[in-house]
Copies of this chain bind each other. A is one copy, B any other.
Amino acid sequence: MDNLPKKITIIGVGLIGGSIALGLKMHLASKITIVGLCSRIERTQKAKELGIIDEVIDLHAQPLGLRLVTLIILATPVEETIKLLKFLSKIKFKNCLIIDVGSTKEFVINAAKQLLGPNISFIGTHPMAGSDSSGFENADPFLFQNKPWIICPAENIIKEQLKLVEALIKILGAKKMIMRDAKHDQFTAFASHLSLVISSILISTVAKQRQWRKIAQIASTGFRDTTRLASHNPRMKTDIVLSNKENLIKALNATRIEIDRFIEVLHSGNTDNLFNYFNQTKIIRDNWLSTYFN
């Protein structure tokens, strides 16, 4: 992987940033140096102690040092990414590529277009991998193994820079997918953000019942798994849904309509129609599962 720079800066060394760091180190060992920054300086120090990053960078104390940086990975929540883009736009880089790995793309890519000057390129990407846990303590060099990693290149992308991103994704064991940012956001609204929200809506619906305390006693593994994503980091969820608002509202409206349709089928009490509904959805899910999760 000759085209990867010897030094990579990761801003936001959490689960994703930390897993990128560990994955790169696993394959490239001493050939790569990871410069990193977490949300707080104590966290950054700890990430260094644990060997997840090699060097600590303090953006505000070392803005001059940044000038020679050639690759920055932003692994922060969208809101933070925008702030960082504003900050980085003021640095007089010689030649820098910034990529992000956030859950929504159109908003960030548009901001990058507006904010960044001629010596900074930006490529929005999104690895489709995650975990219930957060923080670099849970980082895993295999997190991206065989998972899709979406790249949303701008029209004027520099070919060499795209190749660099593709090399990075390959090293981490992920499968690249090229997609327009608007499409990415439409698809992830259904593929991922809808589940994030429905899990919380389900908890809220059930816990609002006057008899929640009794219901809580008898709810079992089905309820536990269907609502798993309700335990995700609420700050991150807020960030995701706000930056993909319109698509997510469409997905939620589609769900509402589907609930109405199901209520009609149930109301009619037609055994065959109900069986077909459950049977069809089972077939679709089982096929999906065997295709993508072998």
Contacts and interface: CB of A to CB of B under 8 A. Distances in A.
Contacts of A130: 220-222
Interface of A: 128-130, 147-148, 150, 177, 179, 183, 186-188, 190-192, 194-209, 211, 214-232, 234-235, 237-238, 241-242, 245, 248-249, 251-256, 258-260, 262-263, 266-267, 269, 271, 274-275, 277-282, 284-286, 288-289, 291-293
B259 A201 contact: yes
Chain A interface, >50% SS class: helix
Contacts of A150: 218
Contacts of A218: 128, 148, 150, 177, 187-188, 191-192
A234 B282 contact: yes
Nearest to A192: B222
Nearest to A209: B190
A247 to B, nearest CB: 11
Given A190-B206, A274-B238, A282-B234, A255 B201 contact: yes
Given A201-B255, A204-B281, A214-B187, A222 B238 contact: no
Contacts of A279: 234
Given A186-B211, A192-B222, A205-B254, 17 more contacts: A130-B221, A177-B218, A187-B211, A191-B206, A195-B223, A199-B226, A201-B258, A201-B259, A203-B284, A204-B284, A225-B225, A225-B229, A226-B228, A242-B266, A252-B262, A255-B259, A256-B256
A262 B128 contact: no
A203 B287 CA distance: 12
A253 B245 contact: no
A230 B130 CA distance: 22
B204 A194 contact: no
Contact of A225 (B128, B203, B204, B228): B228
